[in-house]
Amino acid sequence: MLGRRVAVTGIGVVAPAGIGKEAFWSGLLSPAPNGFRQIEDWDPSPYFDNPKEARRSDRVSQFTLAAAAEALEQAGEISADPARRGTFVGTGVGGIGTLEEQIEVRLSKGERRVSPFLVPMMMANAPAATISMRYGWQGPCENTVTACAAGTHAIGNAARMVADGRCDVVMAGGAEAPFTPTAVAGFGNMTALSNSGDSRPFDANRDGFVMAEGAGILVLEAWELAKARGATILGEVLGSASTADAHHITAPLPGGVGAVTCMQLAMDDAGITPDQVRHINAHGTSTDKNDAAEAEAVAKVFGTDDSGPLVTSTKGITGHALGAAGALEAVAVLLAMQHGKVPPTAGLTERDPELPAINIVEGGPADWEPGPALSNSFGFGGHNGTLVLGPA
């Protein structure tokens, strides 16, 4: 990535697999659960000054604030000019929970009973705005809405703000709270969801994705400034890329052509070659067409022998958190670097023989010497995103 080096100095995560990065890592090494991946007994109160403030934030903003709090605590004291501190949070559907709830209020009680907080709670930019206002970060406050690639695109875009010198530090990631009756029905009726409730990436018996929710936030900081203040550097954003399939509203381009281009452009941006990549956190949704296209793309770029990068899909554990997925997976890659292990592709018990023989981690975690790693995200609408992350 041209310009300044971009360090990761803070990591925060809220997910059904675990709230907080250590719990999340433990969850990634656990047996695959069944059913929707929702955060049970969620309590937003620790992150708000009073209950009223929490009630005026949609669940998606609550998750974001919790993840940001953890990330900033780890990053430590940041003295950058507030005007050079940015926020960039992606989402797929924003505050859809508030929207559906208030539609029901209107239909049952009339227009005058609709909450005046409907609009600020449902806005897709609300998660980014929430953490910006909470911490007084006055630089660019933006969001990306690119379906399931939103979290990846947000981190890539935020890293460019730091590399280009517009910001010295940016909180970046993705958040999603998509569980409403209508949203679940819509995904179900388009036959995208798993009937079994099992997320089985690259498995011969995969039957769709399992919906999830959560948030992941990274603190991205100019490397030299992080070093100067004595921050612990956790990793580095080496590059990123974004492409479009320009093919179909939901189906990926056959053969993974768009994904091939995206991964290659991201490596070009990072200044590395395929033989230097040691790990890929795949999009791996457990749908028939996505997994086939991505496996073909990986095979075309990296080959099909065991010396290729270790490939895993953490969606066997996390499920598919839509716009938050890429952020959760970036967190997973950084934690894999810190722990020296790549989590297995949970839920994979019988590899699909029709897929290319890429180097998928299965059965248990794989030891590795951390190096450049890709994190892939592919969204409805043909949005492709790839991050290149490196160890500290």
pLDDT in tens, 280-311: 999 999 999 999 999 999 999 999 877 899 99
162 with 6: CB under 8 angstroms? yes
In this prediction, residue 111 carries a pLDDT of 97
**Which of 113-127, 162-176, 293-307 has the least mean pLDDT?**
293-307
pLDDT in tens, 11-41: 999 999 999 999 999 999 999 999 999 999 9
Supply 247's token pair. Answer: 């093919």
Q: Nearest CA to 158 among 265, 10, 17, 262? A: 10
Cα–Cα distances in angstroms (integers) from residue 348 to residues 198, 203, 322, 364, in the given order:
10, 5, 20, 11
Q: What is the mean pLDDT of residues 142-159?
A: 98
Residue in this structure with the two tokens 């990793």, named with its chain if needed:
235
Which of 153, 279, 320, 383 is an active site residue? 320
Supply 23's token pair. Answer: 């719990």
Task: Report if residue 318 sits inside a domain.
Answer: yes
**β-strand partners of 312:** 281
Residue 346 phi/psi, 5° resolution?
-60, 145
Range of the domain at 370: 6-391
Task: Report if residue 213 sits inside a domain.
Answer: yes
Task: Report if residue 322 sits inside a domain.
Answer: yes
Task: Report if residue 145 sits inside a domain.
Answer: yes
Task: Report if residue 37 sits inside a domain.
Answer: yes
Q: What is the mean pLDDT of residues 141-168?
A: 98
262 assigned to active site? no
pLDDT in tens, 170-212: 999 999 999 999 999 999 999 999 999 999 999 999 999 999 9
Task: Report if residue 374 sits inside a domain.
Answer: yes
Task: Report if residue 1 sits inside a domain.
Answer: no
In this prediction, residue 250 carries a pLDDT of 87
Task: Report if residue 315 sits inside a domain.
Answer: yes
Model-wide pTM > 0.75: yes
Residues in the chain: 392
Q: How many domains does the chain have?
A: 1
CATH number of residue 236's parent domain: 3.40.47.10
Mapped onto helix, strand or coil, the DSSP state of residue 192 is: coil
pLDDT in tens, 260-273: 999 999 999 999 99
Task: Please give the Cα distance from 330 to 240 (Å, whole number).
Answer: 12
In this prediction, residue 215 carries a pLDDT of 98
* DSSP state letter for 351: B
279 assigned to active site? no
Which of 148, 153, 279, 383 is an active site residue? 148
In this prediction, residue 2 carries a pLDDT of 86
141 assigned to active site? no
Which of 141, 153, 279, 283 is an active site residue? 283
pLDDT in tens, 245-263: 999 988 888 889 999 999 9
105 with 136: CB under 8 angstroms? no
Cα–Cα distances in angstroms (integers) from residue 28 to residues 21, 219, 280, 344, in the given order:
10, 22, 15, 8
Report the Cα 41 to chain-centroid distance in Å.
Answer: 22
In this prediction, residue 10 carries a pLDDT of 98
